[in-house]
Structure 1
Amino acid sequence: MPATRSSSSALRRTIIAAAMATAACVPAWTAARAQEVVLIPNRVIYPGETISAGTLKEVTLVPGKVKPAAVATTLPELDGKVARRTLLPGRYIPVSAVRSAWMLEQGATVQVSFVAGGLTISIAAVTLQPGSPGDVVKVRNIDSGKVLTGTVMEDGSVRVDA
Structure 2
Amino acid sequence: MRGRRRKLLAMAATLSAALGCAPALAGQAVLVPNRVIYPGETIVANALRELILAEGKVAPENVVIELSGLEGKIAKRTLLPGRYVRPNALREAYVVEKGVAVEMIFAAGGLTISATAVTLEPGSAGDMVKLRNVDSGKIVSGTVMGDGTVRVGG
Does the pair score TM above 0.5? yes
| 2:39 equivalent in structure 1 | 47
Q: 1:28-77 deviations in whole A, cap 9, x for unaligned?
A: xxxx9675111111111111111111111111335787753221111111
Larger fraction in helix? 1
Cα pair distance change 1:64/1:150, threshold 3 Å: closer
Q: 1:79-114 deviations in whole A, cap 9, x for unaligned?
A: 010001111111100011000011111111111111
Candidates 76, 93, 99, aligned match of 2:85? 93
| 1:84 equivalent in structure 2 | 76
Deviates most, 79-88 or 56-65 = 56-65
**How many residues align structurally?**
131
| 1:59 equivalent in structure 2 | 51
Which amino acid letter does the alignment assign opposite residue 48 of structure 1?
A: G
Distance 2:136 2:100 in 1: 17
Cα pair distance change 1:110/1:33, threshold 3 Å: closer
SS in 2 for 1:151: strand
Whether the aligned pair in 2 keeps the contact of 1:33 and 1:64 (CA below 8 Å) is: no
The ranges of structure 1 where at least 4 consecutive aligned residues each deviate by more than 2 angstroms after the TM superposition are: 32-35, 60-68
Q: Does 1:108 align with 2:100?
A: yes
Cα pair distance change 1:63/1:84, threshold 3 Å: closer
Distance 2:104 2:67 in 1: 34
| 1:140 equivalent in structure 2 | 132
Unaligned runs of 5+ in 2: 1-23
Q: Does 1:117 align with 2:112?
A: no
Tell me which structure has the larger Cα radius of gyration: 1
Unaligned runs of 5+ in 1: 1-31
TM-score by length of 2: 0.77
| 2:153 equivalent in structure 1 | 161
SS in 2 for 1:69: helix
TM-score by length of 1: 0.74
SS in 1 for 2:68: helix
**CA RMSD, 1 decimal:** 1.9
Candidates 30, 51, 62, aligned match of 1:70? 62
Cα pair distance change 1:49/1:118, threshold 3 Å: same
